[in-house]
């Protein structure tokens, strides 16, 4: 007998197989309809959201979390609705011809983008995310199973109901079937779904480190996302001091809890007045610096000379090197270490970074290129803040997440990460045994065609 999770996963697979064949126009049309339905039902959604907020107050949720739960705070609901339209209006990521090659006369091979298939998307309690994920999934032709944080259960349930009703209502005109978007509610369901490797193609967890790590450790289904964002900046001896100060300050303090915030500062002590970078972080950024022994000795000496010891010393603490180079602070704290060369910086970063985003500050192009080539992270920067690592800043229109794995999609991931490709071969009765290598005499011609002129 099939389990409940297997039934959900099977239903998603069946829906995905049909959704895959819907035209880009119909996928966008459905998103406009979903936009309209959510807008028309704002009142019902608001009531459900109120219920969630009341329950949250009862369970003494923090004010930060309450703010997240409140879907009607400021223009949040309208921004969410506009987001659906924005995604609907993006170029269709499906059916794009990436390669066309004549294998022989009348035997042509095409590589064409196609949906990944079935997504399992797990996110926390922000109610607007359900609209965002629905839009991304349908736009990219993927069926999705959604699981949101339990604090927003009533809002999710109401919104999901409206989405499902809209899908069913327009099923005959769009060709997009019921089951394309399914909501699940309990943690048990997630655990069981993570076993459905035959039906689910990709897990997209959006949320806390702990959530993502836990998911990565409990499934054999590929996971698109990131747990840690341990980003480092190396300030070279040939750095422009003004840039070094501005960039490190921005990277650490613009949004300290962001996954693209600087956690480690590697600084070359041969840089003239290197300590200005640290003083700037201490004074302007109110950043506590977790420093190695040699940094501490040198820095405290400078602070004493500059009569800054009293005001800044409390923001200089000893680092536990065994631990702190491999963790995120997610706060106004940064690890600081001396490194004596670009090579040493590269080695430190390739050992300790989470392969998210790392930067070098230098005026020396040769060293910059060595760094850009040598660092094995999804994003590698020269003279820019790590905070630019973001799908919208990269110009992707939509962000699915930020991935730190080494295959499929890396760094900020747009709709491209939700599609893959298929090979389409169109022939006229050709068989392999006529060709060299399979018993025959014919040779392949392997002539590449200009994909600009090809529409399948």
Of residues 115 through 144, those in contact with a copy of itself by CB under 8 A are 116-117
Out of 26, 280, 341, 430, the residue judged to bind a copy of itself by CB under 8 A: 430
370 binds a copy of itself (CB under 8 A): yes
Binding status of residue 157 toward a copy of itself by CB under 8 A? no
- Residue 406 as a binder of a copy of itself (CB under 8 A): the answer is yes
Compute the least distance from the CB of residue 356 to a copy of itself, in Å: 11
Q: Which helix (H) or strand (E) holds 374?
A: helix 365-374
Evaluate whether 329 touches 281 at the Cβ level (below 8 Å): no
73 contributes a contact to a copy of itself by CB under 8 A? no
The region of 72-80, 149-157, 226-234, 372-380 touching a copy of itself under the rule CB under 8 A is 372-380
CA distance 361 to 293: 23
One of 294, 393, 443, 454 touching a copy of itself (CB under 8 A):
393
Q: What gap in Å lies between CA 371 and CA 385, rounded to an integer?
A: 15
- 62 or 217: whose CB is closer to a copy of itself? 217
Question: In terms of CB distance, is 86 or 185 closer to a copy of itself?
Answer: 86
Q: Please say which residue, 428 or 452, places its beta carbon nearer to a copy of itself.
A: 428
Task: Pick from 167, 202, 279, 316 the residue near a copy of itself by CB under 8 A.
Answer: 202
DSSP, residue by residue, 259-309: TTSEEEEEE-TTSTTTHHHHHHHHHTT-PEEEE-HHHHHHHHHHHHHTT-H
439 contributes a contact to a copy of itself by CB under 8 A: yes
**Does the protein bind a copy of itself through residue 216 (CB under 8 A)?**
yes
The position carrying tokens 């010393």 is: 313
Q: Hunting for tokens 């970074």 — which residue is that?
A: 353
Q: Judged by CB, which is closer to a copy of itself: 137, or 219? A: 219
Nearest CB to a copy of itself, comparing residues 153 and 259: 259
∠ CA 96-101-106 to the nearest 5 degrees?
A: 115
Q: Which of residues 220-279 bind a copy of itself (CB under 8 A)?
A: 220, 222, 240, 242-243, 246-247, 249-251, 254-255
Q: Say which residue the tokens 């327009």 belong to.
A: 170
Q: Which of 28, 182, 264, 385 binds a copy of itself (CB under 8 A)?
A: 385
The conformation of residue 63, written as its DSSP 8-state character, comes to H
Q: Does 214 bind a copy of itself (CB under 8 A)?
A: no
Nearer to a copy of itself, 54 or 105 (CB): 105
Angle (nearest 5°) at CA 189 between 188 and 191: 65
On whether the CB atoms of residues 349 and 232 are closer than 8 A, the answer is: yes
* CB nearer to a copy of itself: pick between 159 and 361: 361
Q: Give the Cα separation of 148 and 207 in Å (integer).
A: 10
Rounded-to-10 torsion of CA 240, 245, 251, 253: -170
* Residue 76 contacts a copy of itself per CB under 8 A: no
- Site of tokens 């035959």: 198
Whole-number minimum distance, CB 155 to a copy of itself, in Å? 25
Query: Judged by CB under 8 A, which of 66, 107, 300, 330 binds a copy of itself?
Result: 107
Beta bridge mates, 114: 420
Footprint on residues 2-41 left by a copy of itself (CB under 8 A): 16-17, 20-21
- 40, 57, 425, 443: which one binds a copy of itself (CB under 8 A): 425
- Does the protein bind a copy of itself through residue 405 (CB under 8 A)? yes
Residue 69 touches a copy of itself, criterion: CB under 8 A:
no
The alpha carbon dihedral of 252, 254, 258, 261 has a sign of negative
Query: Is 217 among the residues that bind a copy of itself (CB under 8 A)?
Result: yes
**Binding residues for a copy of itself, total number by CB under 8 A:** 80
CB-based contact 271:236 (threshold 8 Å): yes
Name the E strands within 60-200.
Answer: 97-104, 107-115, 118-123, 143-147, 181-184
Segment 80 to 99, residues that bind a copy of itself, using CB under 8 A:
none
Q: Which is nearer to a copy of itself, 162 or 215 (CB)?
A: 215
CA–CA dist 38, 48 (Å, integer): 13
In the complex, the smallest distance separating the C-beta of residue 370 from a copy of itself, rounded to whole angstroms, is: 8
With binding defined as CB under 8 A, does residue 429 bind a copy of itself?
yes
Residues 321-360 as x/- pattern, contact with a copy of itself by CB under 8 A: -------------------------x---x----------
Q: How far is CA 362 from CA 24, 104, 374, in A?
A: 46, 52, 15
Residue pair 359/313 in contact by the 8 Å Cβ criterion: no
74: alpha, beta or left? (left if phi > 0; alpha if psi -120 to 50): left
CA proximity to 203, closest of 133, 114, 257: 133
* Interaction of residue 186 with a copy of itself, rule CB under 8 A: no
DSSP-assigned letter for residue 408: S
Of 127-135, 184-192, 298-306, 388-396: span binding a copy of itself (CB under 8 A)? 388-396
């Amino acid at each position: 007998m099939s389990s409940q999770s297997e039934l959900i996963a099977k239903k998603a697979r069946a829906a995905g197989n049909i959704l895959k064949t819907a035209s880009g126009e119909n996928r966008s049309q459905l998103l406009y309809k979903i936009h309209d339905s959510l807008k028309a039902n704002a009142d019902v959604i608001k009531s459900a959201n109120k219920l969630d907020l009341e329950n949250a107050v009862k369970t003494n949720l923090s004010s930060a979390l309450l703010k997240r739960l409140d879907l009607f705070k400021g223009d949040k609901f309208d921004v969410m609705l506009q987001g659906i339209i924005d995604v609907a209006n993006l170029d269709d990521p499906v059916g794009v011809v990436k390669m066309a090659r004549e294998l022989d006369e009348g035997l042509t091979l095409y590589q064409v983008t196609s949906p990944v298939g079935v997504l399992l998307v797990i996110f926390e309690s922000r109610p607007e995310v359900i609209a965002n994920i629905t839009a991304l999934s349908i736009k990219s032709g993927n069926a999705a199973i959604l699981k949101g944080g339990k604090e927003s259960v009533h809002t999710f349930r109401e919104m999901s109901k409206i989405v499902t009703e809209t899908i069913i209502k327009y099923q005959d005109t769009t060709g997009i079937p019921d089951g394309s978007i399914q909501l699940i509610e309990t943690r048990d369901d997630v655990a069981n779904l993570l076993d459905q490797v035959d039906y689910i193609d990709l897990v997209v967890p959006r949320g806390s480190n702990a959530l993502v790590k836990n998911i990565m450790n409990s499934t054999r289904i590929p996971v698109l996302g990131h747990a840690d964002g341990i980003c480092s900046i190396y300030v070279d001896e040939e750095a422009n001091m003004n840039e070094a100060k501005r960039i490190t300050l921005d990277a650490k303090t613009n949004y300290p809890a962001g996954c693209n915030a600087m956690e480690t500062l590697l600084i070359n002590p041969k840089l003239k007045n290197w300590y200005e970078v640290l003083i700037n972080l201490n004074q302007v950024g109110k950043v506590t610096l977790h420093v190695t022994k040699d940094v501490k000795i040198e820095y405290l000496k400078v602070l004493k000379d500059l009569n800054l010891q009293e005001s800044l010393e409390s923001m200089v603490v000893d680092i536990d090197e065994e631990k702190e180079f491999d963790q995120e602070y997610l706060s106004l704290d940064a690890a600081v270490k001396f490194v004596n060369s670009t090579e040493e910086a590269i080695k430190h970063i390739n050992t300790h970074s989470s392969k998210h985003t790392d930067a070098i500050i230098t005026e020396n192009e040769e060293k910059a290129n060595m760094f850009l080539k040598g660092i094995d992270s999804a994003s590698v920067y020269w003279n820019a803040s790590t905070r630019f690592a973001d799908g919208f800043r990269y110009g992707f229109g939509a962000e699915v997440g930020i991935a730190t794995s080494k295959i499929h999609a890396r760094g900020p991931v747009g709709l491209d990460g939700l599609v893959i490709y298929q090979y389409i071969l169109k022939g006229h009765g050709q068989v392999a045994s006529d060709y060299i290598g399979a018993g025959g005499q014919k040779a392949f011609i392997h002539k590449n065609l200009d994909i600009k002129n090809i529409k399948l």
